[in-house]
Structure 1
Amino acid sequence: MALIQVRDLVKEFEGQKVLSNINLDLHEGEVKVLMGASGSGKSTLLRCLNRLVEPTSGSILFRGKEVLGPNVDVRELRQQIGFVFQQFALYSHLSVLDNVTLGLRKLKGMSEASAKEKALHELSHFDMAPHQDKYPAQLSGGQKQRVAISRALAMDPAVLVMDEPTSALDPVMSRDVADLINRLHGEGITMICVTHDLNLASNIAEKVMFLDKGVIRADDRIDVLSQHADPVIQKFFGEGQV
């Protein structure tokens, strides 16, 4: 059984369909990549997975259990499906260490000492422990990305969800993120990633899903999609218009 199963998912905003009958499976240890033009519904789909956005209809099963019901513990769900936001969403008034320990203390009820130990373990994993006392404004884009990933992983989620992880980074830092994702994959972390970056996509997954106007139009290797019979898909992947 897939870790996450999405079936016939629909999301409407003010009567307009942003997602239409989405179906996908995410298996344990898998890295799934979603691509598509701006406004295609990619980020909305990610946010539906842990109910940051409420779907209009359809089903999302997490470990075989429906997560869209009224009695679901949404806070617990969000601990299981960790989210790394496009602009990192770090608290500017908190240090690196406090950004990572906040959820551990407030949501998991850990003591300050235990939360610090856990946070430093995750930060050291990404060479960020020496920067624990800095504030987000003192960090580079790549460093902020590492802190955001550390914060998500500190909660021990079953799935790590990343929304445009390289959008604010230069090409060198983007390659570093690809290396980081591959390292996490090697450690068995399950991930789903939205990206406009063809280089990142090709470096972290064999196949990508193409979302167009709220509909999944293809699920295949990039080299196959670049020769696709559908001109919209061929243009996106063939010309790299991302």
Structure 2
Amino acid sequence: MSDGVAAWIEATLGVWPDDVAPFVRALTHSSHAAGQAGSSYERLEFLGDRVLGLVMAEWLWELFPDEPEGQLSRRFNALVTGAVCAEVAREIGAVAHVRLGKQARDDGAQHGDNLLGDVMEALLGALYRTAGLEAARGAVRRLWANRIHADDSVPQHPKSALQEWAAANRRGVPAYSIVDRSGPGHAPRFTIRAAVGSDEVTAEGTSKQEAETAAARALLALLSAQTPKRRVRRR
């Protein structure tokens, strides 16, 4: 397995690891490492989250020299979410290398955003520890390259967009509530209700945050479709 992981790391992260153990650990869920202290990805995920944050902040600071801090923050927050990290993990084929306990794998945990997002950050933590910041910087800039310019306008989080719409249309503050939580601890499913006045929708996600975001996006689309467009009078 070690040789296969090493070859995959070289192909995806650009470095042949002299020590493959940190990368194997970055791919190991706690359900596989039960009873083995420090053998899951959790500590590396903690480190990799900070590495990603530093590299992304530096990159945005360089790319958008005229933007104020608020706009840079919105770009940053849109690029480092767990959902985006999970997308990157899927693109590089991490699902095939994740190590899980039998029950977690049978439950499909290897496909969830929560686990894959953590794995992607753990891999960056392992890369930083074994090859340094420059290698981590190169990997992030390569793997996120098609996202950082995906939209030249400053992205806005759906929850912020919904709140702004509600305020502009004097509809009150959006409210979110948990309708249901199902699934095992390693592969949860949340159903969230988002409401603005009497209008409401529900949406699902593998985390409370993901479900709230999906619900806000769906409710904003519904409300925007219901809002009559203003006609421009011609003189």
TM-score where L is the length of structure 1: 0.22
Larger helix share, 1 or 2? 2
Higher relative contact order (CA 8 A, sep 6+): 1
Tell which structure's C-alpha radius of gyration is larger.
2
TM-score where L is the length of structure 2: 0.23
Larger strand share, 1 or 2? 1
